[in-house]
């Protein structure tokens, strides 16, 4: 079955079995290996991508269902070989231990930056609860997301959460 979608700004097309999951379409057909397969049961969020601007778990969607949509994966964040705001914030805040959850966390951060002007630490924790970090490096990850907000929104004020 034909699937045609726009991924990271590029039109791509392939003929696939209906049972092919979107995450495998992205990784194995389009060869974009940035999106990770974690738990495969819809819990961990490592496979998070943006579909028509909204974060979804690409292991919970068939590729055929994504026909005609616009997808953003972690590869779509950088511009001209330069790290994006969220990527730079993750590097600078050491928000990466094993790195497995990082693509999902980064894509989620991109969504949050586009959706909200400002989020408290508490709200950030709430928003990313569908993204697991099995290293439990959440403190640095939340620092990085806060920092990404500061950089992207240019505000100096730091929200204090509990």
Partner 1 sequence: MYPSNFEYYRPSNLNEALELLANGECRPIAGGQSLVPLMKLRIVAPKCLVDLGRIESLRTIAIEGDVLKVGAMVTHEEIVESQIIEEFSPVLALTAESIGDLQVRNRGTIGGSLAHADPSANYLPTLLALEAEVVVVSPLARRVVPMADFVKGPYTTDLRQGELLEAVMIPRYRGRGIVEKFAIRKADFAIGLVTMLYKVIEGKLDDLRLAVGALATGPVRLRKVEEKLRGGELNPKAAEDVLKEEVALLQPVDDIHGGAEYRRRVIFTLVKRMLEGLARGRDNEGQVEDQWGGKGGRCGA
User: Contact residues for partner 1 (CB under 8 A)?
Assistant: 1, 17-19, 21, 40-43, 45, 48, 51, 54-57, 60-62, 64-65, 67, 108, 122, 125-127, 129-131, 162
Provide the minimum distance between the beta carbon of 42 and partner 1 in the complex, in angstroms, as a whole number: 5
Question: Least separation, in Å, of the C-beta of 49 and partner 1?
Answer: 9
End-to-end Cα, the chain, rounded Å? 50
Q: Name the residue nearer to partner 1 (CB basis): 46 or 148.
A: 46
Q: How far is the CB of 125 from partner 1 (least distance, A)?
A: 7
Residues paired with residue 5 on neighbouring β-strands, in sequence order: 12
Closer by beta carbon to partner 1, 120 or else 140: 120
Give the shortest CB-20-to-partner 1 separation in angstroms. Answer: 8
Do residues 89 and 144 touch, judged by C-beta distance below 8 A? yes
Taking only Cα atoms into account, the Rg of the chain, rounded to an integer number of angstroms, comes to 16
Q: Output the DSSP codes for 75-104.
A: GGT-BTTB--HHHHHHHHTT--SS-SSHHH
Sequence-ordered list of residues with C-beta below 8 angstroms from that of 97, at least 6 positions apart, any chain: 133, 135, 137
Q: Which is nearer to partner 1, 87 or 131 (CB)?
A: 131
DSSP for residue 62: B
Minimum CB distance to partner 1 smaller for 13 or for 67:
67
Question: 88 or 120: whose CB is closer to partner 1?
Answer: 120
CB 50 within 8 A of CB 72: yes
């Amino acid at each position: 079955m034909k699937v045609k979608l726009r991924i990271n700004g590029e039109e791509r097309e392939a003929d696939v079995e209906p049972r092919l999951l979107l995450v495998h379409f992205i990784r194995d057909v389009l060869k974009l290996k940035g999106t990770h397969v974690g738990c495969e049961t819809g819990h961990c969020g490592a496979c998070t991508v943006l579909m028509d601007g909204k974060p979804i778990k690409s292991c919970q969607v068939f590729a055929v269902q994504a026909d005609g949509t616009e997808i953003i994966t972690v590869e779509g964040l950088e511009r001209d070989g330069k790290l994006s705001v969220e990527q730079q914030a993750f590097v600078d805040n050491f928000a990466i231990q094993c790195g497995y959850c990082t693509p999902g966390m980064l894509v989620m951060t991109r969504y949050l930056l586009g959706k909200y002007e400002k989020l408290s630490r508490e709200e950030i924790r709430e928003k990313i609860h569908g993204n697991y970090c099995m290293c439990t490096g959440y403190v640095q990850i939340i620092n990085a997301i806060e920092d990404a907000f500061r950089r992207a929104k240019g505000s100096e004020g730091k929200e204090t959460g509990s």
